[in-house]
Amino acid sequence: MSKVNFSIFCLMFFALSFGVSAMAALVPSIAIDFGVSPLKAINLTWLYMLPYGLGALIWPTLTRVVKVKNLLLYTAGGFCFSAILFGLSPSLNKAFIFRFFMGCFGCSFVPLALITVGKTVPAVKKGKYIGILFGLSYVSTLISVFLSGFFSWRIIYLIPALLSAAAIILIILHLNDFDFRSQKFSLSYLGTLRDKQALKFFTVIALASFFYHSLQQRLGLYLSINYNLPQIIISSIFTVSILSATIFEFTGGFLSQKVGNIKITRLGFILMSIFVFFLFFINNYRVLFLVIGLWGAGWAFTHVGLSTHLTHFPENILRDSAGLNSSLRFSFGGLGALAGGLLAGSGNFAFLFAVVGISLFCLGFFLKKAIGQEYTQEGGKYVRVKR
């Protein structure tokens, strides 16, 4: 993959990520803008994540009959248009609709990038490429979360529309076709899940996303209810978390090549669980500025470790695995966001903290047993990695 092509994928990741995590921080402000309860406005989180998860199953399979370039042009256009309408929404109900379509189109970027990296980048460099892609997505998230403390949420969501418009121009002018079409179109997600190694991997993906988002999408609400904080303080706390995630997303890609994807992922789960347990003992919101970096670093390590692990899957399941990865992350993330509301009840977050903290720790502790031996691809088959 050339530097120009890779830069275009980086821009698309940047556009997609701008405002994704900011939503959790902006829920109180959006609720005030529309004159509704924050408990109603928070539906904007899962109304984006669930269609994202379902749509992510569609776009990767279309690479069997459509060139990657053409798919990206279509979905980037749809994402751009939806983001503009969302930022201009006159009511919360209209915002629900446009946010839904943002998820439908935005869900193509990550699986199409993973497929392209998996098919065009040498195995020894995949970890670095994945680390850079997701690292830049965290930079984008960091900027959007920081700006959310100073600008209207409408401005925050018009920025990714402009970025995706720029990406469309670059795709037309410079992106290679990346023609991975096959003679026969088929859907083989069930066949992919029959692979025991893949099934174990995607079970971990689903559980990790479920428990992470059950807390992540409630953090802004927790800070608003528990500490009665203004938007600028809430956004600042999220900014520290994303800054930590950004730093460790970049370094995680390189470390995964040195110590292995499983070790990096395990460390990530444990760091997140430590942060959650800290929440039981924090009475002053200022302490959160010191410990929330564990949450961001943990998710970054987990994210880059599992994503790199996926790119080493055999050729015959790589394409569908990329779709399943994004689908399960966001589908179960959306379900987690819904479940977080049930676990937190009417503002009692202790039970939510207990469930999430224990679950993430168990995922980290039993990760190697759950996923099994670390593998790489050689001749279309799994080959054990010796470390």
- Report the CATH number at residue 283: 1.20.1250.20
In a domain, 312, yes or no: yes
In a domain, 182, yes or no: no
pLDDT tier at 379, thresholds 50, 70, 90? very low
CA distance 35 to 138: 31
In the chain, the number of structural domains is 1
In a domain, 130, yes or no: yes
pLDDT tier at 381, thresholds 50, 70, 90? very low
CA distance 351 to 195: 36
CA distance 295 to 288: 10
CA distance 98 to 103: 9
In a domain, 181, yes or no: no
Q: What is the pLDDT of residues 205-264, one digit of tens each?
A: 999 999 999 998 888 888 888 888 888 899 899 889 988 988 887 777 677 777 778 889
Instruction: Give the Cβ contact number of residue 206 at 10 Å.
Output: 20
In a domain, 40, yes or no: yes
0.85 exceeded by the pTM?
no
> Residue length, the chain?
387
In a domain, 198, yes or no: yes
What residues make up the domain containing 360? 3-175+187-384
Q: What is the pLDDT of residues 155-182, one digit of tens each?
A: 999 999 999 999 999 999 999 989 888 7
Q: Is the pLDDT of residue 352 over 50?
A: yes
In a domain, 180, yes or no: no
In a domain, 165, yes or no: yes
